[in-house]
Structure 1
Amino acid sequence: MAISVEGKDTPQGLSKPQAALKRSFDFFGAAVGLVLTSWIILPAWLLATLDTRANGFFTQERVARNGRIFRVVKLRTMRPDTRLDTTVTTGHDPRITRLGRFFRRAKIDELPQLFNVLVGHMSFVGPRPDVPGYADALEGEDRVILSVRPGITGPATLAYRNEEELLEQVADPERYNREVIFPDKVRLNREYVEHWSFRKDLGYIWRTVVG
């Protein structure tokens, strides 16, 4: 069975009971998470606003389930730099502020995505949401990745936990991301969807929390 998305067929991933279980966990987990972390998110938003001289909440278009577009919410960690026009970030990207580096290292900048999980844009576990031009351009059986909600964490996220440092070591970060990292993420994410289990999701969350 396949889902038709903008003229393309997306292979069916999780069964309806599996999808319902995953979504229920996401909804209640995100609601609890927002309550428990609001004391971190709100002061961090204020600090990010002062640090970057812009709204401390940063939103950007990303590709969601079935190829739909949504706006992911994160804490702003970068200032604009007219010399750079790329969505690929390296470890010493000059746009990242000192406070932003701390937020990124501690994963505090990811906390507002709990809102995206709560409203159904994202899941706790799944493929990371890409900017348009990557996941939405997948072909054939690889499009099964689009049958699930993108996640805050997942196998590819954990495998490339140090992606920014890795990109810093290559001459052409954009090309390396496009030709090496992204195809490997597709492989990992496709395996995740095709062999999904709730137990594995809990394992990915645990590994993310404990580092």
Structure 2
Amino acid sequence: MLKIAVVDYDMGNLHSVCKGLQHAGAQTSITHLPAELAAADAIVLPGVGAFDPAVKKIRDRDLEQPLKDIIASGKPFLGICLGLQILFDRSEEGEEMGLGIVPGIVRKFQPEADLTIPQMGWNQLQLAQPHCPLWGQIDANAWVYFDHSYYVEPLQTSVTAAVVTHGTQTVAAAIARANVMAVQFHPEKSSTTGLQMLANFVRLAQSAQILTSV
């Protein structure tokens, strides 16, 4: 059975993500051990909270280099919410450097009339990479659930897989580059659409598993 490791660094509800992956047929484990992460077929990095504590916990558990090595190996990788933001170089939210896996900055939403910060609730995606594996059987303007005050600004716009408009600001809602995919919204809270995205990731990981075993 496909094994997906969910990275445990004390920053979020990991069990709801596991349930979504299990619903799609994957076996999941919650772990912070590099050997267990390396042995998995795919990796999911969720997260809820602030940027600085997150990257500090990653480094305190000696996970930075193992995560970079796993990504470099080509193993399917999915970041969720804060797990997207810490892939970037730095954030306006704090002083710590991010993991630097995706070049760019995490920005704060700019205040404007009638704009709610954080963006909390359902909003509509606009797909920038229609053929991204996460979007299989997903409507081009699907509704998903957000809860964030900061958004990612990739240095290379080509990595942006979807955008969302909040007030007058249109920002990246997902990125995809080779085996690395990450979303700002919460698929585990996004009803059947989110479950389909998690199922798509499981299907991608299964395909990669078959290729590596041949």
TM-score w.r.t. structure 1 length?
Answer: 0.25
Higher strand share: 2
Higher helix share: 1
Larger radius of gyration: 1
Higher RCO (C-alpha under 8 Å, 6+ residues apart) = 1
